Amino acid sequence: MTPVGGERADLPPLRDALRAWGGPRVVGRLGGGHRNEVVEVAGDDGRRLVARRSGRSDAALDWELDLIERLDGLGFTVPAVVPAPDGRRRVAGVVVQEWLDGDPPGAGDWAAVAGELRRLHAVTAGWPQRPGFRSSQELLRYERGGDVDLTAMPEAAVRACRDAWQQLADVPLAVVHGDPGPGNIRVTRDGAIGFLDWDEARIDHVDLDLADLPTAVLSDDRQRRAEAAVHAWEAACGWRAEPDYARGRLARLRSDRPEVSTSRSPSVPR
């Protein structure tokens, strides 16, 4: 059974699933965090490729792959999906993608990164929510979605998170990358901005993507509100998987917003 958040525990090892691609040689392990296994593989033609074993539901993974294909068609720099010889884009949760050459962004690249994120938000306004996920706006009413399970958190922590998310009510909704840090961005040789790792992508308030960049690109008030909402999101997503990290983000939220409401949260659907 797939839980509400879209995670699965019934998948075979990554190397077994790679046989569908002819068994490309695994070169080495890459980052993948708590939710994915990611490796570099060498294709039969010598190409550098990346294989990822995702625990997301099939529907959630298809949403991500549809998004990447759509963005590729619109001229975004994204790692194209390499289907298996039989045409399947995913096999037992495993996806193979092209290697995206480039370097992490430097100090002078963040304005261009913000520009590409804004273009992403503009072209995905009205995109359907990712199956099994909920935006921070929806989590004002619901308790579970994506990597968030508010029932696992103390009531005071839930109130602090919802108070922060409520402050973004006037910010537009669209697809957000969800983790646009230096490790997930590549600046190509010709200066294009490429985005890796769309595992956390979903529909949410667009300022969540823009607030966590090293260079502030929002007005002071929007930056302050969005930074608080990002702290809340990171705390809620990591409460079980990364408890020390999550509690640290919650502490930063509370220190930045000492006026957080302590009123009792209303009963909400799950």
Q: Given pLDDT bands bounded at 50, 70 and 90, which one contains residue 6?
A: very low
pLDDT per residue over 141-189, tens digit each?
999 999 999 999 999 999 999 999 999 999 999 999 999 999 999 999 9
Q: Average pLDDT for residues 186-215, to the nearest whole number?
A: 95
Residue 260 pLDDT greater than 80, yes or no = no
Sequence-separated (6 or more) residues with CB below 8 Å from residue 69 = 81
Q: Which token pair is 64?
A: 């991500």
Residue 240 pLDDT greater than 70, yes or no = yes
Name which residue leads in pLDDT, 209 or 268.
Answer: 209
Q: Given pLDDT bands bounded at 50, 70 and 90, which one contains residue 50?
A: very high
Q: Given pLDDT bands bounded at 50, 70 and 90, which one contains residue 256?
A: confident
Residue 231 pLDDT greater than 70, yes or no = yes
**Least-confidence region, from 1-15, 28-42, 182-196:** 1-15
Q: What is the pLDDT of residue 14?
A: 85
Nearest to 5, CA basis, from 52, 54, 39:
54
Three-state secondary structure of 176-236: ECCCCCHHHEEECCCCCEEECCCCCCEEEECHHHHCCCCCCCCCHHHHHHHHHHHHHHHHH
Name which residue leads in pLDDT, 262 or 65.
Answer: 65
**C-beta of residue 209 within 8 angstroms of C-beta of residue 238:** no
Q: What is the mean pLDDT of the chain?
A: 89
Q: In the chain, what are the domains?
A: 14-98 (3.30.200.20), 107-256 (3.90.1200.10)
Q: Given pLDDT bands bounded at 50, 70 and 90, which one contains residue 267?
A: very low
Q: What is the pLDDT of residue 15?
A: 84
178 Ramachandran zone, left/alpha/beta (phi>0; psi -120 to 50): left
Q: What is the pLDDT of residue 257?
A: 62
Q: Average pLDDT for residues 95-115, to the nearest whole number?
A: 95
Q: What is the pLDDT of residue 34?
A: 59
Return the H-helix or E-strand segment holding 123: helix 110-123
**Least-confidence region, from 58-72, 221-235, 244-258:** 244-258
Q: What is the pLDDT of residue 33?
A: 56
Percent of residues, the chain, with pLDDT higher than 90: 77
Residue 17 pLDDT greater than 70, yes or no = yes
Residue 3 pLDDT greater than 50, yes or no = no
Residue 4 pLDDT greater than 60, yes or no = no
